[in-house]
Structure 1
Amino acid sequence: MMIARRADTKARADFATWKMMAKLNGASALPAEAQAFLTSYQALLKGMPEADATDATIQLMYKAYYAEMGGKGTAPDVRAQISEPVTDNVTAFRRPAPQKTKPKAAADPKPKLPVALIFACLVVVYVGVRYYWR
């Protein structure tokens, strides 16, 4: 069953990649196997809707990958285990719990000097140095 799941996952991923490259006009850079699957997909598109053609092509790729990966016999149906699709996968936003703050001390041990006082001291030092060098 592990081989079947890996083959199915690889088939779906490869098909999505190849289909996007074909849309971007890069199909000529794909390997011959990929080009063959895309050609069969284009042929299926002419006779059925896109979703059905996509599923049919992925099933063809899945069977080929299953045999290539060493699966014995016919490839089992991997997607049969999926229950009804999830309609709502949105998670509600929750605010984080507020962090505890440290209580402030009643009296700061060192009072802060106002900015204006510091600026005035710098001016006095500058003027003093200028007069000293003259």
Structure 2
Amino acid sequence: MASKSSTSIARRARTRAEADFATWLMMAKLGSFDTLPENAQKVLNGYRERLDRMSEIESKAIAVRETYQAYYSDMGGTGDAPEPEPRSPAPADRSEGAVDNVVRFKKPQKPKVTRTADRGARPVSPSGARRPVPALLIFAALCAIVVAWKFLTK
């Protein structure tokens, strides 16, 4: 059984390898392959060569595994990098045929509008508390009071 520190190193190395590979792949697709570090270019070249022989998912898994092993040893892990624990299944909103690299955006919920019986009443925030008076309004009221005081005392 792996020690707690090697498990922590393995988890961080795996996360970093997955993120870096995705970043490198996107940069290469956007035409910035030549600006990538030498190790990134090496991993992507191997990934491209394997695409001729196997599926994209298998090639990606091998490329991430190679990067993970390199990061594991760089972060102080000893021996071979342990196999990562399988991740828990995604939330129930994922359909059966969903692709892992698809990002789904959720629309923000519109704030609920509360209607007041009295139209002249002060607006109330959605949480039910009164809205604070804006600082500019307070400043204008104070200026008006000072001007009125000066005018009335002369």
TM-score using structure 1 length: 0.64
CA–CA distance in 2 between the matches of 1:27 and 1:7?
23
Q: Say whether 1:83 aligns with 2:88.
A: yes
Aligned match of 1:36: 42
Aligned match of 1:54: 60
Give structure 1 stretches of 5+ with no counterpart.
Answer: 105-134
RMSD: 2.9
Q: Structure 1, residues 12-39: CA drift from partner, whole Å, max 9, x if none?
A: 1100110001001101001110000000
Per-residue deviation, 1:57: 0.5
Aligned match of 2:21: 15
**CA radius of gyration, larger in:** 1
Letter in 2 for 1:31: P
Per-residue deviation, 1:86: 2.7
CA–CA distance in 1 between the matches of 2:82 and 2:20?
19
Give structure 2 stretches of 5+ with no counterpart.
Answer: 1-6, 95-105, 121-154
CA–CA distance in 2 between the matches of 1:31 and 1:64?
14
CA–CA distance in 2 between the matches of 1:47 and 1:73?
29
Aligned match of 1:72: 78
SS in 2 for 1:47: coil
Aligned match of 1:25: 31
Letter in 2 for 1:85: A
- Give percent identity, aligned residues only: 41
Letter in 2 for 1:50: E
CA–CA distance in 2 between the matches of 1:86 and 1:36?
35
Q: Higher relative contact order at CA 8 Å, sep ≥6: structure 1 or structure 2?
A: 1
Structure with more helix by fraction = 1
CA–CA distance in 2 between the matches of 1:20 and 1:42?
13
Per-residue deviation, 1:68: 0.9
